[in-house]
Amino acid sequence: MNEEGLKALPESIHDWDEVKNSDDPTKFWDRITNLRKKFGTGLFTPGKDAGKEDWGKFTTKAIELSGERLMPRPDLDNKEQRDALYKTLGRPDSAEGYKYEDIENVTTASDSHKKFLGDMAFAANLTQSQLKALDETIRTTNAKDKLDAKTQFDTELGKLKAEWGLTFDDRVNQANKVAKIFFKHLGDTPSLSAVEIQSFFTIAKQLGTSSKEFEEQGDQNQNDMTPQEATDKIAEIRSNGKHPYFDKSAAGHLAATKRMSELYKIKNNLRVN
């Protein structure tokens, strides 16, 4: 560039190639204008500290500038291209390729669970991270439901035990015998719920000794009383002023006194000798 042109430009840029290769200031500004246009459409790799958002913008711009030549859009109706895309996103090559991590306070994933969830996830083209989130949700929910069910089971059984008192074990045995004889699908040692125990015990009472098959299973002590039944019996005796219990001279006074003592023991869940 001639001297006249250099005077029009700052001295600090006289050594620029754009200045040296320009005959006059007009050509120099034309070169600078072209450079600015290129910067506007240029693609610059994000720096070391760039985050996911910066890299996302970079990828989007690269696709836009390449007109999808850099990353052509796959044909999702083509199985080969579709599989290649989902594999790139993180889907394994087969349903067996998914990994199942341990979850705190939750049982290890069973083979049947892995088979069911893996087949479903693969058919839906889920990535490993998507399956992980689904697996954690399902197994955690199942574990909570099982815990809630067990808590309810134990609570209802505890209420029945308090209601039946010392008759509980005997009545449970009778209910188990009914289950073993007439409901074999429950197994040899069924874990009966409170409702099932009550229902099966009612059947046992109705059978009594009328069923030889049931009788052969062992003795049934159906005369034991529950705490509430003993309480009701005590109230019945106390409301009858003519009962031998109140008449020391009556022939049945001693027997009535002994029976009242037994009733109080039953009421308070104490074993009657």
Query: What does the DSSP assignment read for 147-165?
Result: HHHHHHHHHHHHHHHHHHG
Domain ranges in the chain?
3-41, 79-144, 152-215, 227-267
Pair of tokens at residue 60: 């989007």
Q: Whole-angstrom Cα distance, residue 233 to residue 265?
A: 12
98, 92 contact by CB (below 8 A): yes
pLDDT reading at 223 higher than 60: no
Q: Grade residue 48 by pLDDT with cuts at 50, 70 and 90.
A: confident
User: Which bin fits 218, alpha (ψ -120 to 50), beta or left (φ > 0)?
Assistant: left
pLDDT in tens, 61-102: 776 766 655 556 677 788 888 888 788 888 899 999 999 999
pLDDT at res. 160: 95
Q: Name the residue type at position 87.
A: K
pLDDT reading at 244 higher than 60: yes
Pair of tokens at residue 234: 């005590």
59 CB-near residues (< 8 Å, 6+ apart): 71
pLDDT in tens, 129-177: 999 999 999 999 999 999 899 999 999 999 999 999 989 998 999 899 8
What integer is the mean pLDDT of 225-241? 90
pLDDT in tens, 10-20: 887 787 877 77
Q: Grade residue 211 by pLDDT with cuts at 50, 70 and 90.
A: low
pLDDT at res. 194: 95
pLDDT at res. 220: 43
Q: Whole-angstrom Cα distance, residue 130 to residue 32?
A: 50
Q: Whole-angstrom Cα distance, residue 91 to residue 158?
A: 49
Q: What is the pTM of this model?
A: 0.51
Q: Which residue has the tokens 């290769």?
A: 21
Straight-line distance from the first to the last Cα atom of the chain, in angstroms, rounded to the nearest whole number: 125
Q: Name the residue type at position 102.
A: D
Pair of tokens at residue 34: 């072209």
pLDDT at res. 236: 93
235, 201 contact by CB (below 8 A): no
